[in-house]
Structure 1
């Protein structure tokens, strides 16, 4: 009961005005409170969208893209060797050397190097970008005394791509401030290899393209071999899981499994979630740089949660339910309420007081309690919606395999999951309700983009050995 939640934090008010405030605040928060039945309904909608995305002819119009990753197995603990990992997703990129030691059942991440990408390269030609990457890679090989070795490489390239094979990925469009000419519509693995070939002073082995969710799953999969789902809840959100090959209609083959990158952030882009969108969600979408896109992500991820809370607080202030009806300049400014404030406020009332003061608001104790309640309500919806999506995947895996009961592990990463004081507990509790026949454990990833990329490469390398050169065709691999 939200009134009880609020009134339990403040002294009783004989005038009854506190109860009145509670009721009016609740009117605005009620749309965020999704019942178990509604969450089950959301899960059923996602299940239909996932089937559409897997279809051979329906996928192009699916909001949930269900992209094949061509990763055919999770680690089984026998992987070993030295691997390079390249993580490109912003104005900096990392090169890593990862050593997998089978006898110690662990991965040792060796030294890594961060390389800046200057603005002129971000906006220049693709050839200059990949020449710069190749030069940084050469410098790293020298620093690690790896020059002369031909090591497999895991390539995390965090831009929208259509993956054709494990080592072939076509850039759909640049984001994050990049606009290098001659790259969109091209295979980024080929461009990297051509840049290395132009140098002529070193070479790399096989290349495995790695989505960040896949990296998370594979990083955790080496520590827990029941890990078959990867999930990220941070600035954005996404998930991947191991699907039966017979259901992946866009790729030939019936045997075994393949990891599918769901791209579930786009869930609802076709209007299927319109009935649960609040006026605040609609405002966030309308003022974003990509209206109508990534509907689900905008309801639950770190890039948007702070702004949703700001809009709710502003609405309550305009209705004179908060801050004596006087918003500060900060509260009127989009983006001023950072998502990290939500975690801090929910972690304690003293934090709420400090943050409201930082935002130059004229607050009292009831205001601080209401602000905390708003944060709790918005983050709780995020956790429960995420749980509905995750339960959909767990239930699908169980059904796919004809199991009465599924025991599986989710490799998870992202600041919202890691930093929020209650998010993980709420998510896990909701998953238990929504997937009662699934025993779902959670394992936080340790550097999915580095170790995970190495593990994808290691598993792909085993596929090469088994199939005499083919990373894709694994009829009955022993580690599936």
Structure 2
């Protein structure tokens, strides 16, 4: 097979038309409806956040946020200045293996000590004297990536959440079955801290709220990074998974923010999976899980590119048919290499392949082929990410003044990704309607969003 023949086959599978996107949009529309009525037990979608207020942009004051979503603990003092402006001072700490696998109380004491340092030393100037001395209670918003550190958290109120199971290497004793807020408050009491957890939130919900502070017309918060997720406000009357007694607490027309967990949407029945997608999935530690996310997010784009490139090599159309040493190893070609190749810097492009032991120095044609593969994979990613936006517009029946706040490295830093998402929307709606959709880079939800929700829910 020639280079052109191989590319024609790949582009036929990867470059999705409006007609090919339509079944995915329809599938997502059905998953919203199913998720709103299916109880959030275990691994679930359409998770109610119990956040029913959105910022106006005029809020002021200093509040705390804490992000438990990744490798590091991140605690921030956030000064809301009004007019959508804020100052963030963040403290990062990395827990030791002993802390992650020891007694739960010790882990929460460690967090309390870090918060004390932030309030009394590092960010002291952002707080009032009464806040620093403990005379005034400080509100804290805790941002949790539900499929990460706390792989299962049962939430029935905005500031309550029962720990059902730990994840990501955390095996804290005497935590499962306990309320997360209670464990914080017990540690704060032991450390003589006047801090109250007023909200437990998902980072995607935080992204939506954080951007709504900047632009109150924002109706969708999208994270497009190593993974993908989205949040939006839903009429409580439609969230039938909530007990009627809970829904009855809210006035008619109240909206609650929903963490869609859109990363686990999608089935083999309607996703246009290619042979490369199936090969990637089989090499993953969780096959048949997050199939949609595996087709588009930053954690997987590089591996898809590598798999396609291998076919060109085996056909003798790339690197003279010689597999560079290490290139045949799964997950050896991260997405950052794609980003470098698409940045149009010839020297840096060659440096990408210096990470592998090539028999001969890659030619300009080799680099051009690799770059074209990257472009195909990244373009499909953008179009599939656009499906999240399109389906959420359908779900809310939005027609005018549509603002989407997008946070994440894949959207923000991958060359041309923002333009490709825009092009997908133009092709789906036509430019007249698509021009009503504003895509804006959003602040990270774990800091500003967490502090805002702590304030709104105190």
- Normalized against structure 1, the TM-score is what? 0.85
Determine the structure 1 residue equivalent to 2:133.
147
Q: Hey, which bits of structure 1, 4+ residues long, moved more than 6 A?
A: none
Determine the structure 2 residue equivalent to 1:469.
none
CA distance in 1, matches of 2:168, 2:12: 35
**1:246 Cα deviation (Å)?**
1.4
Determine the structure 1 residue equivalent to 2:374.
375
Determine the structure 2 residue equivalent to 1:43.
25
Q: Which moved more, 1:432-441 or 1:218-227?
A: 432-441
CA distance in 2, matches of 1:92, 1:176: 12
CA distance in 2, matches of 1:184, 1:48: 33
Judge conservation of contact 2:159–2:199 (CA < 8 Å) in 1. yes
**1:32 Cα deviation (Å)?**
1.3
**1:172 Cα deviation (Å)?**
4.3
Q: CA offsets per residue over residues 152-171 of structure 1, 9 Å max, x none?
A: 11111223333321111233
Structure 2 CA distance for partners of 1:64 and 1:27, relative to 1, 3 Å:
farther
Unaligned runs of 5+ in 2: 125-131, 148-152
Structure 2 CA distance for partners of 1:224 and 1:368, relative to 1, 3 Å:
same
Matches within 5 A, 1:371-450: 371-398=370-397, 405-435=399-429, 437=433, 439-450=436-447
What's the RMSD between the two structures over aligned residues?
Answer: 2.1
**1:426 Cα deviation (Å)?**
0.9
**1:427 Cα deviation (Å)?**
0.6
Q: How many residues align?
A: 431
Unaligned runs of 5+ in 1: 1-16, 400-404, 462-480
- Which of residues 116, 128, 141 in structure 1 aligns to 2:94? 116
CA distance in 1, matches of 2:355, 2:94: 33
Determine the structure 2 residue equivalent to 1:266.
264
Q: Which moved more, 1:181-190 or 1:429-438?
A: 429-438
Q: CA offsets per residue over residues 157-205 of structure 1, 9 Å max, x none?
A: 2233333211112334333322223333432122111221233x12213
**1:119 Cα deviation (Å)?**
1.0
Matches within 5 A, 1:80-229: 80-102=60-82, 105-143=83-121, 144-145=123-124, 146-148=132-134, 149-160=136-147, 161-199=153-191, 201-229=192-220
Q: CA offsets per residue over residues 111-143 of structure 1, 9 Å max, x none?
A: 322122111111112222112111211222221
Matched residue SS, 2:329 = coil
Matches within 5 A, 1:308-347: 308-347=304-343
Q: Which moved more, 1:36-45 or 1:167-176?
A: 167-176
Determine the structure 1 residue equivalent to 2:128.
none
- Which of residues 273, 276, 279 in structure 2 aligns to 1:277? 273
Judge conservation of contact 1:344–1:352 (CA < 8 Å) in 2. yes
Judge conservation of contact 1:29–1:374 (CA < 8 Å) in 2. no
CA distance in 1, matches of 2:280, 2:182: 38
Matched residue SS, 1:390 = helix
Judge conservation of contact 1:67–1:163 (CA < 8 Å) in 2. no
Q: Which moved more, 1:439-448 or 1:405-414?
A: 439-448
Structure 2 CA distance for partners of 1:125 and 1:64, relative to 1, 3 Å:
closer
Structure 2 CA distance for partners of 1:264 and 1:246, relative to 1, 3 Å:
same
Matched residue SS, 2:178 = coil
Judge conservation of contact 1:328–1:360 (CA < 8 Å) in 2. yes
Matched residue SS, 1:95 = strand
**1:397 Cα deviation (Å)?**
1.2
Matched residue SS, 2:233 = strand
Judge conservation of contact 1:21–1:321 (CA < 8 Å) in 2. yes
Judge conservation of contact 1:159–1:173 (CA < 8 Å) in 2. no
Judge conservation of contact 2:142–2:197 (CA < 8 Å) in 1. no
**1:305 Cα deviation (Å)?**
0.9
Judge conservation of contact 2:185–2:196 (CA < 8 Å) in 1. no
1:75 aligned onto 2:55: yes
Matched residue SS, 1:374 = helix
- Normalized against structure 2, the TM-score is what? 0.88
Judge conservation of contact 2:341–2:349 (CA < 8 Å) in 1. yes
CA distance in 2, matches of 1:288, 1:172: 25
CA distance in 2, matches of 1:429, 1:181: 50
CA distance in 2, matches of 1:198, 1:155: 19
